Structure formats: structure tokens, C-alpha cells
Chain A
Amino acid sequence: MATTVSSTGTEAGIQNVFAFIRRRWLWLLIAFLALLPIIGGKTGYISNFWFLQLSLMIVYAIAVLGLNLLTGFNGQISLGHGAFFAVGAYTAAILIDQAGWPFWATLPMAAVTCFVAGYLFGLPALRLEGHYLALATFALAVAVPQILKYRHFEGFTNGVQGINIFKADPPFGLPLSSDQWMFLVVLAVAVLMFWIARNLLDSRTGRAMTAIRDHAMAASTMGINVPRYKAVVFGISAIYTGIAGALHAIIFEFVSPDSFRFELSIAILVGAVVGGIASLPGAVIGGVFVQMIEKYADALTKKISAAVHLPLELEPWTIYGIALIVLMYTMPTGIAGGLAALWRRMRRS
């Protein structure tokens, strides 16, 4: 008798734990990530280089989130978000390098610069719909590296050579390396940015954004100022991507025009689509995808073709291409959408 009682007790306890995990999985995940520097750093299992990689994933997640807000929730296509990424990165790098600002102070400044840039670019671009907007933003992405190299800006941008900056050491004598410390900073900023995005989407403004995406004319009839909303959303989207750019400059310790070629804009877009457009978890998956697949597809292709002794030489980007095609066929709503569908099917059966 007594044993049965205790066993149901543990069962209930286990179920409680599972329920707790299900309800609080997001917080648990964040707490786990926040503890990583202490676990990994002390045991030495995770090198500083890996903390840089993790930080970069989070940074790209923020950038992808910016594009998600614009494209996924507001229906405007941008092929030029790399440009805002570059503006944010250069704002941070120039302020740190030439004005001696502390790194954290450059983030709000990057946000302001990018909002202004995004809003101003958004205004005239409103006359352009769909494909035309995509092309206009694409032109922006192509132009930015050239502008950064422009001779008369060299005093600020240092031309093609770019700007080297140094990462901040952790404050208060914390026993962390600067990479571990910056990982925590990036994580905190990301949590804040995602939290703001979720609240924004849950608000009147968020519903107006999606209404415009679904049917602009109907939204307008309901009293939504469509052009203004579109421009503001463009600005907000630029803030997100710009802050990601600033963080990138700070943790990477280097900016140059070549860091922000138009391939970056495409990478952000691919990340958004692969992760799952119009989905916040999708942005995180997209960020991981941008950093991992994009950067290592080349090495992976080589390794695989060497491992299976392929008789033909694969092009560097083969794996990347194959992965993209397979993903788009099997998970047309992105990885986040695909996983959600899989989860629903498993629960039903």
C-alpha cells in the first residue's frame, strides 16, 4: 500500500517536472545559455572561439528577426538588410574607435541611426510595391560597400582596410574571458529584443502590421494609416538589424566593407525563410542557420566528399544548395513551421 502511494507520488512529481519544463522551457533554455560561460569556461569544454560562434548565431538571429518583422509580419520584401547591418556595425565601430565610447553606449546610437536610415529609406520606397521594393532595397545593399569605400569618407571608415576595435574586458573583475562576457551581453540584448518584438506583435500596432500584410486596402478602410505604418515598420526592422550589426562589430572586433557585401543581405533573407518567416522561434533557427550552414557549408562539402571518396570534385557550395532545396520542399513554412507541424502530428497519433 505504502509503496503504491509513494510510486504514484514520484510519478506525479515527474509529471510535474515535465509540465514545468513544458511551461517554462524558454526560460530554462535562456538560463542554461546564461550558465554556459560558467560551465563551459571552467571545464574548458567550450573554447572562446565557440563562444564567439554562439554569439554570432544570436547576433544573426536578431538580424533575421528584424527582417521577419518587415517581411513576415508586414509583407514588405527587403533584399537589402545587409545595408542596415553595415550602418549599425560602422556606427558602433566609429564611435568606439574614434570617439572612445564604451561599447554598450553605441547600441542605442546604432538603433537611432538605423531607425532614421530605415524610416527615410522606407518613405519613398512605399511607392514601390512587391518586386519593385525588393529591387530598390537590393540596390541599397549593393551600394553600401561602395559608399563605405568612398574616398572622402575614408577619414571615418578607413576605406577598404576597415576598422579594428578591441573587445571590452568583463567588468567588476568577473572571472570570465572577454568572449564569454560578450556572449552574456549579446544574449541579454537578444532576450530584450525578442521580448519587445513579442509584445509589439501582441499589441494594436502588431495587429495593424499583420492586417496591412493580409489586405492593405481593408486595413486602410479600418482606419489604419498604411503608408505611415509601413515606413515605421521599416524603421523598426532597421533598428533590429542595425543593433545586430553593432553587436557584430563589437564581438568580431573588426568591420570592413567586404564584411557587408550583398551576399549578407541574401544570407539574412535565406535565414528568415529557412527558419520560418513570421515566426519568432524561426528567427532563432534562422540565425543559427546563417552562421553554421553559410560559414561551414564549404568545409562540410570538402569533408563529406573526402569521407565517401566521391570520384568527382564537388563545388564548395554544393551542400548548401542541396540543403536549401531539400528544406524548401520538405518544410515550405521553414524549419520552425515544419517542426510545429511535426509536433502536431505526433500528438494526434
Chain B
Amino acid sequence: MKISKLLLAGIGALALALAANPAEAQKKYDDGASDTEIRIGNTNPYSGNASAYGVIGKTIEAYFKMVNDKGGINGRKINFITYDDGYSPPKTVEMVRKLVEEDKVLFVYQTLGTPSNTAIHKYMNGKKVPQLFVATGASKWGMPKEFPWTMGWQPDYVTEGIIYAKHILANVKDAKIAVLMQNDDYGKDYFGGFKQGLGKDADKIVQVATYEVTDPTVDSQIIQLKNSGANAFFNITTPKFAAQAIKKAHEIGWKPAHYLNNVSASIGAVIKPAGFEAAQGVITAQYIKDPTDGQWKTSPDIVEWTAFMDKYMPQGDKTSTFPVYAYAVTSTLAEVIKRAGDNLTRENIMKQAASLKGVEVPLLLPGIKINTSPTDFYPIQAVQLSRLKGEVFERFGDVLSNEAASQ
């Protein structure tokens, strides 16, 4: 009698467990995800020659603090683990291995720099750990067939290079073009797109100078470019060198039509240090709102961003576009995590990231939306040209998409 009661209780418990199971079964976790937490890994240059970008990592950290204060995403807190790699690829390799193998993060997000991401590209795809929304616009991040675990976010450099080339051909008379580029895949990618955009007019490039990211200055390169007699200048540099180039060109009285790549299109980090006077007329391509531009002052996303900066980054520079960028890209990630729901596997994260259709993200320029698909790993593919006038970049012309650029 007693035994049968026990048996009955056992069966009852089993039935309960089975009944509870279907609900449980929908929750799927890989390393780094649980009922209460999602671990995300990152490397950023907090020190070294590219340390101007470090504010991106700090903003992302602050963003997740805000998210966690509001209760997290789907009830889970975000644990954002970020390490300094000093923009040095071997250091990135070591830190990313630590993130994946020691900290056991669900995925790696916004690792910064073309050389650094190149160094971990094969590793991430070999380990099948997402390398999501990397902070570089090299065109190689959008190759879902060969590298299904890697995705970029910002407009790719090739497209941007093409747009500048078209603009020079249409607007600079008898163009003689000088190019300054960082000697790595980032520089080469821009330059490749630029030459593609020039097409048969590629011989209008009269001088190309390169620098290493470890160099102290680019002064001698600028003098060399001036002496080539060029009247148009494509400036493919990271912030510190961009500021040096603008300043030096102004000092030696070289006044070409100056095209500055978007990665350095920051009032706070580049134009201000170089001097506003030196930078008048510099043209760049933008896809996010410049916080110094008065016309956005009352737009809801900038208001939201300003409140965020005041509360979570009180020492942050509100004239720099880098915190804007970080806020926009992390909003995109938050959307991806939200859509992944309780299925927090690495596979599902990539699947969600690759099925964003016309998603609107705060702080992007009007008319620019996020679009991805299993065959399209380029989330943003549109930019708008703008020119520095006074202390702001003034946008002109239409929003140019990839298709428009390659026409």
C-alpha cells in the first residue's frame, strides 16, 4: 500500500516534470548565456595610437549599465567584458582567446580595428563564435559564405571610397589627386574602392603616401603630397593622424579639395584638435547624426542620447561622434538580443542579426535603415556627403546608397 502510494507520487512528479518540460525546452543556451545573464566580450584600444576610439568601448559599457538599470533584456542582465588591446593585433588575439575560452562569452561584439579583427577572423569562425558588428568598415566582413560568424555594421569602405571618387570627378576641375593612407587592410580597402570609383581616371592620382599606425606623425607625408602639386586630397587616416594631416596641410598652406574618410569624421576627436580654421571645407560622408549639428537638437533620439550621456557618461565628450556611433550600434545589438528571446545560442544570435529588415535605429541620419539577410551581411549601406562649415558638418545632396554609388 505504502509502496503504491510512493509509486503514485513518483509518477505524479514525473508527469509534472514532463508537463513543465516543454516550457523549459524553449530555453536554449550556449556558453555565456543563462536565465539571469548574457556575457558579451569586446576589445578596444584604450591605450596607444588609436586610443581616441577607446571612448566607443566606454560608451558601450555605459549603455549596458543603463540597460541593466532598466532590468536588462528579456530579464537578463548584460555582462559586458572589455579589454584593452592597444590596437595591436597580437594583443587582440590573446585577449579574444581569453574572452572565448576563459570568460566564456556568448559572442564577441564591436572588436575595434581592421588589423585586429583580421587577426581573429579565422579563429572566431573556426570556433563558431559570433564576431558581431565589428567596429571597422572593411568590405571583408560581409562574406557570409566564407565567414558565416562575422558581420560588420557601418557602411563599408569600398562604397565610401567610390562615393568620394565620383564626387571628385564631378566637382574638381583637372583633378590631380593625392592620397594619404594607413598601411594596412583598412587603408587598402578605401583606396581600392576609390580607384574603382575613378575607373579609367585612376591616373589622376599623382601621389600616394602611406604611414604605419605606430608612426609618431604624418608631417613629412603631407609635405611630400603638397609638393606633388595635387589639388584634391583623399585622407584615409585614423583620428590622431587625421588631425595631424589637417593641421599640417593648413600650416604649409596646402589647400586641396580635402576628402576625409568617415572613420575620422568627428568634430570632438579630430576637427577640434586640428583647429576649425584649418578644417574649413573638409568633405566627408556621414550616416549618423553629428551631435554638434544644431538641427538635431530637438530630435527625440538626440535628446535621449544627451540624457544618457549626462547620466552614464558625465565626463564624456558630447561633441564627439564616437559615443553617438557606440549608442547607435549597441541599440542594434540590443534589438538582436531581444529578438533572440530565450534561444540564446550562437547560431540563433547570428540568425537574428542576419534577418533585420528595415530596422530603425536611433541616431542614424533620416532615411538610413538597417537591412540584413542571410546573404547580405552589410547592415548599413547608405551615406550622405557633408562639408565642414564653421563648427559643424553641413549635409548636402541626397542619401547615397551602394547602388547609387556604383552607377
Among A47, A259, A295, contact of B101 (Cβ-Cβ < 8 Å): A47
Majority SS of interface residues in chain B? helix
**A253/B102 contact (C-beta < 8 A), A160-B184, A161-B184, A258-B90 known:** no
A48, A160, A161, A252 interface centre (most CB from chain B within 10 Å): A160
Given the contacts A160-B115, A164-B122, A49 and B97 also touching, CB distance less than 8 Å: yes
Interface membership of chain A positions 35-74, coded 1 if the CB is closer than 8 angstroms to chain B and 0 otherwise? 0000000000001111010000000000000000000000
Inter-chain CA distance A259–B214, complex, in Å, is 12
Q: What is the distance, in angstroms, from B86's C-beta to the closest C-beta of chain A?
A: 9
CB-nearest residue of chain B relative to A258? B88
- Do A254 and B101 touch (CB < 8 A)? no
Q: In the complex, are the beta carbons of A254 and B102 less than 8 A apart?
A: no
The answer to whether A252 touches B93 (Cβ under 8 A) is yes
- B341 at interface (Cβ–Cβ under 8 A)? no
B101→A49 contact, CB < 8 A = yes
Is B185 at the interface (CB under 8 A from chain A)? Answer: yes
Complex CA gap A255/B115 in Å reads 12
Whether B185 lies near A161 (C-beta < 8 A) is yes
A149 in complex: contacting residue of B118, B119, B183, CB < 8 Å: B183
Asked, given contacts A49-B101, A261-B214, whether A256 binds B84 with beta carbons under 8 Å apart, the answer is: no
Q: Are A159 and B184 within 8 A (Cβ)? A: yes
B122: chain A residues within 8 A (beta carbon):
164, 166
Q: Are A258 and B93 in contact (CB under 8 A)?
A: no
A159 with B183, Cβ < 8 A, contacts A47-B102, A298-B84 known: yes
A258:B47 contact, CB within 8 angstroms? no
Given contacts A47-B102, A161-B118, A161-B185, contact A258 B214 (CB under 8 A): yes
A147 to B188, CA, bound (A): 19
Q: What chain B residues lie within 8 Å of A256 (beta carbons)?
A: 89-90, 115, 119
A252 to B92, CA, bound (A): 12
Residue of A nearest to B84 (CB): A298
Across the interface, do B101 and A258 meet the contact criterion of CB distance under 8 Å? no
Task: Report the separation of the CA atoms of residues A298 and B83 in the bound assembly, to the nearest whole angstrom.
Answer: 11
Cβ of A124 within 8 Å of any chain B Cβ, yes or no, is no
B101 touches A48 (CB 8 A): yes
Q: What 0/1 pattern do residues 122 to 150 of A give for CB contact below 8 A with B?
A: 00000000000000000000000100010
Chain A residues touching B, majority SS: helix
Separation of A295 and B98 alpha carbons in the complex (Å): 13
A164 near B102 with CB under 8 A, answer no
Q: How far is the CA of A159 from the CA of B98 in the complex (A)?
A: 26
CB distance from B212 to the nearest CB of A (A): 7
Bound CA span A145–B185, Å:
17
Q: Roughly how many angstroms separate A160 CA and B89 CA in the complex, as a whole number? A: 9
Cα A50 to Cα B98 in complex, Å, equals: 9
Per-residue A-contact encoding for B109-121, CB less than 8 Å = 1, 0 else: 0000001001101
A261 to B97, CA, bound (A): 21
Decide: A160 and B98 in contact? CB cutoff 8 A: no
- B93 and A254 contact, CB distance less than 8 A: yes
A88 within 8 A of B: no
User: Which residues, 194 to 246 on A, are CB-close (under 8 Å) to B?
Assistant: none
| Chain A residues with CB below 8 A from B90, complex form | 162, 252, 254-256, 258-259
How would residues 256 to 275 of chain A score, 1 for a CB under 8 Å from any chain B CB and 0 otherwise? 10110100000000000000
| In the assembled complex, A316 has its CB within 8 A of some CB on chain B | yes
Report the minimum CB–CB distance from A216 to chain B (whole Å): 38
Instruction: Tell me if B126 is interfacial: C-beta within 8 Å of chain A.
Output: yes
B118's nearest neighbour on chain A, judged by CB, is A161
Bound-state Cα–Cα, A164 to B89, Å = 11
Q: A161-B89, A162-B90 are in contact. List 15 more A-B contacts (CB 8 A).
A: A47-B102, A49-B97, A49-B98, A49-B102, A149-B212, A160-B184, A160-B212, A161-B185, A252-B90, A252-B94, A254-B89, A256-B89, A256-B115, A258-B90, A258-B214
Q: Which residues does B use to contact A, with CB under 8 Å?
A: 47, 84, 88-90, 93-94, 97-98, 101-102, 115, 118-119, 121-123, 126, 183-185, 212-214
Which 10 pairs show the lowest CB-CB distances between chains A and B?
A: A259-B90, A49-B101, A49-B102, A160-B184, A164-B122, A254-B93, A48-B101, A256-B89, A258-B88, A47-B102
Q: List 29 A–B pairs whose Cβ atoms lie within 8 Å, in order of A's numbering.
A: A47-B101, A49-B98, A49-B101, A52-B97, A52-B101, A149-B212, A159-B183, A160-B184, A160-B212, A160-B213, A161-B115, A162-B90, A162-B115, A162-B119, A164-B119, A164-B122, A164-B123, A252-B90, A252-B93, A253-B93, A254-B89, A254-B90, A254-B93, A255-B90, A256-B115, A258-B88, A259-B90, A298-B84, A316-B47
